[in-house]
Structure 1
Amino acid sequence: MTQQDEEVPGERYPENPPEKHRGPVVLRRGRRSEPTTTDQRLLDSRGPSDWVHTDPWRVLRIQAEFVEGFGALAEVPRAVTVFGSARTKRDHPEYELGRKIGAALAAAGFATITGGGPGAMEAVNRGASEAGGFSIGLGIELPFEQGLNPWVDLGVNFRYFFARKTMFIKYSQAFICLPGGFGTLDELFEALTLVQTKKVTKFPVVLFGREYWGGLYDWIAGTLMKEGKISEKDLDLLHVTDDIDDAVNVVLEAYQAWEDTH
């Protein structure tokens, strides 16, 4: 017995108290007095509906989202996810840029995945669809009305961001980030973290727009790498460009390298 395991004078470990089993859950002491069983609560439709908001029920909803997402996207061909701001107006140059990127990816044989919303996402879906490509939108339930844009050929709506993020990563061979806000930054750094920690491999991340992304890239290189928080190899995970052909070539080269190892 170690010093940590020694019994404190005057204290004794309690004997096993009476218990009640609820599936894998063990209830002891006052928790045993629950008046109904799981089956009864499931089959009895009377009473309040608060149970649909409990954490165990949410687990089933989460599971259902993964099942639905995997089922809908299982046969998607090679694809690239493109992020960008939902606030981009249709008359903004970035909207036309998104259309061209969607079309270029379609021409290169890639399905295009976006968050399915308006703005830059709509532009990319539109460009892919107009070029005869496969246009996919993965929407998210938000406090304000949004919905999937009309250029989505295959759409899946999610309640939970983390389930949606899994689909972006699992069914994409690369990320291209158009100018965007917090949502785009969130996906950008999550992707970089997964590649850095080798959770996913051969996954290029392209920042499109030197003027927009240049300051962030300079901060990553001049502060994070300089201070030793990331390595030079980590910085190489990012590719900044203003050229659509260059962006598509980065994706193609990474995909070819991935194919060569599989």
Structure 2
Amino acid sequence: MNAYHRGPVTLRGAHVPSTTTDQRLLDNTGPNDWLHTDPWRVLRIQAEFVEGFGALAELGPAVSVFGSARLAPRHPMYALGEEVGERLVEAGYAVITGGGPGTMEAVNKGADRKGGTSIGLGIELPFEQGLNPYVHIGVNFRYFFIRKTMFVKHAEGFIVLPGGFGTFDELFEALTLVQTKKVTSFPVVLIGTEYWQGLLDWLRDVAVPAGTIGAADVDLIHVTDDPAEAVRIIRTADDERHARRPE
């Protein structure tokens, strides 16, 4: 029987809800029940922040890695994800993923194999599959925006493997934070030039000429096929950031 995770609670069978917590928060149709329920939601949101901050407070240097949940272990990108996890641990980083299957599982697996710290930040979804077995510390969230805060707060940078809408969302959120200087010296590295090249071409050939972004904004993105190079980019930016800090 499939399990449905809602925060720390696991539900099965007839107890699985038809809507998610995020959906109920954002849906403003129907009666004005929100006048009475939203103040209580604020307390739940606060509790999720406290739980997430507490679970990761002593994590140390970490890198968040994103990618598709749909790619099976036989897919070449799965093996690449394992190498990413291994090399990050070898460079002294904990690994943070969404905790799901596919390339997220691969990255956690690589980190686990090397004896590193493997983090999974899960989310309540209608098709939630639970955290993969290679996660050492797992936190399940009801709200996307809290989970996304945790990805950024505890990371020295992002590595992004090929993925879908969720991966795109995380990628562009990170780029927006860097562009607007909400975070500093925060490298964003894409792995898979063939997969990402069309997006980069569109940014340079369409968005830049249209004036909606600057040419320098595209330069915020690094792209490579080599996990070792991806980790070197993160490590270099990390070293430069520490060198600028006052003694």
TM-score range, shorter chain: 0.7 to 0.9
For each residue in 1:183-237, what CA deviation from the matched residue of structure 2 results, as whole angstroms up to 9, or x when unmatched?
0000000000010000000001111000000000110111111222111221111
**Partner SS for 1:137:** strand
Q: Where in structure 2 are there 5+ consecutive unaligned residues?
A: 1-32
Partner of 2:155: 172
Give the deviation of 1:71 after TM superposition: 0.6
Equivalent position amino acid for 1:64 in 2: A
Tell me which residue corresponds to 1:222. 205
What residue in structure 1 maps to residue 70 of structure 2?
87
Q: How does 1:1-262 map to 2 (within 5 A)?
A: 54-262=37-245
Deviation at 1:242, TM superposition (A): 0.6
Provide TM-score, normalisation by structure 1. 0.79
Deviation at 1:261, TM superposition (A): 2.2
Deviation at 1:61, TM superposition (A): 0.5
Question: When the two structures are aligned, how many residues end up with a matched partner?
Answer: 212
Greater RCO structure (CA 8 Å; 6+ sep): 2
Q: Hey, what's the Cα distance between the residues in 1 that align with 2:186 and 2:172?
A: 13
Provide runs of 4+ in structure 1 moved above 4 Å: none
Structure exhibiting the larger radius of gyration computed from Cα positions = 1
Unaligned runs of 5+ residues in structure 1 are: 1-49
Query: Deviation at 1:108?
Result: 0.5
Distance in 1, Cα, partners of 2:166 & 2:155: 17
Q: Name the SS for the 1:176 alignment partner.
A: strand
Shift of 1:134: 0.8
Q: Shift of residue 125 of structure 1?
A: 0.2
